[in-house]
Every structure is written in structure tokens, then in C-alpha cells.
Amino acid sequence: MLILRHDDYDFRMEPEFYIEVHKQFIEAGLTETAVVQFAQHGRLSNFPKELIDYMNTAPNWDIQLHGWAHDHYHEMEVDFIIRDISAAIHWSEKLFGKKPTIWYPPWNAISTNMERAALLLGLKIDNESNNIQKFIREMETGTFKGHSVYFHGWKNEEMLLFPKMLELAKGIKNET
């Protein structure tokens, strides 16, 4: 199973951009895992109704957590992690009508406190780190052994590789 993670999915770009990216997943027959965070620079993000409505009605979505914000959870105490991740779970349920099951932490960093918080919150932590460049290189050489690849929609150099990532991913069943 292959997870294609759209990391740092934080609603900073126009809804049309996110929708266009997702339509390419649909055309490829792949599922986009939006790894959502709800705050930018300590402020609650703007959640465009058009995009939220699209995400709730279009096929081929998996919506999971990145965190409340792009914080250093691996440096936090358990109670602060629970506070932030509980808020993220609340907003995920409010906006998307479902509780996430997986937490993809920022920087793929993990700590014992994060593991304890995830257990208490009923989440699995997945911190595998295969960026789009590594995925393409290893797929082309037949050496890719992972279960996920991540990309950032706001990084132009990664989005230039996006069509190649989708092409290579078509041969691997992707997780919903």
C-alpha cells in the first residue's frame, strides 16, 4: 500500500489550487492523503467553504492530522501535546465529519511523550520520511521499500515533480 501525503495541508493557497491538485489524483485513480494542520503562526487558518465542501464530497480523499500547527511536538510535555492534538481532532471532526486515525508529525520527529499522547487519543503515529525526490529516484532504480511519499503543494520544485510522482505511483496500490 502506498500513501501519497500532501503534507502541511494548511489552507494557505487558493481553493482552486487544492482542487486542481486533487483532480489529478482522481484522474490517476489514486487517493490523496491531506495531512492537515489547522493553525499557521499561532492563528486559526481560514477554511474556504468552497474547498471544505469539495473535500467533503469529492472521491479519493483521506484526511489525517499533521497537528494543530507545525509545532515541535517531540519537545513538548504530554499534556500540551494532548491539548493541541485534541483541538486538531475537534476541527477535523467539525470540518470533515470524521475523526482522524493517523498522526503524521511535523519533521517526522517522534518522542515517547508523543507516543503516549497518541495512545491516549486513539491515534497511530506514522513518521516515515520519503520525500518526492527520494521516491522518484528509488522507484526508477527499483529500490523503493517504503509505504509513503510526501509532497508540499506550496513548494514549486516539488510540484514540478508531481506528475512523475503520480505516474510512478499508479503501479502501486494506494491506501484509502
Dihedral sign (CA 87, 91, 94, 100): negative
Q: Would 176 be classed as within a structural domain?
A: no
Amino acid at 89: I
Examine residue 117 and state whether it is found in any structural domain, yes or no: yes
Q: How far apart are CA 59 and CA 143, in angstroms?
A: 31
Number of structural domains in the chain: 1
Establish if 175 belongs to a structural domain.
no
Q: Which residues contact 150 (CB under 8 A, 6 or more apart)?
A: 5, 6, 7, 35, 104, 129, 130, 131, 132
Q: Are 123 and 143 in contact (CB under 8 A)?
A: no
Maximum distance among all Cα pairs of the chain, rounded to whole angstroms: 44
* pLDDT tens across the length of the chain (176 residues): 899 999 999 898 999 999 999 999 999 999 999 999 999 877 898 999 999 999 999 999 999 999 999 999 999 999 999 999 999 999 999 999 999 999 999 999 999 999 999 999 999 999 999 999 999 999 999 999 999 999 999 999 999 999 999 999 998 865 54
Average pLDDT over all residues of the chain: 95
Residue 81 sits in a domain whose CATH number is: 3.20.20.370
Q: Which residue has the cell 499533521?
A: 66
pLDDT digits 0-9 by tens, 30-68 = 999 999 999 987 789 899 999 999 999 999 999 999 999
Tell me the whole-structure pTM to 2 decimals.
Answer: 0.94
Start-to-end CA distance of the chain, whole Å, equals 9
Closest CA to 38 of 57, 64, 3: 64
What is the tens place of the pLDDT at every residue in 75-86?
999 999 999 999
Q: Is 7 among the domain residues?
A: yes
DSSP string, 87-155: HHHHHHHHHHSS---EE--GGG---HHHHHHHHHHT-EE-----BHHHHHHHHHHT----SEEEE-TT-
Is residue 174, in this structure, part of any structural domain at all?
no
Domain that holds residue 42: 3-169
Residues 6+ apart with CB under 8 A from 52: 95, 96
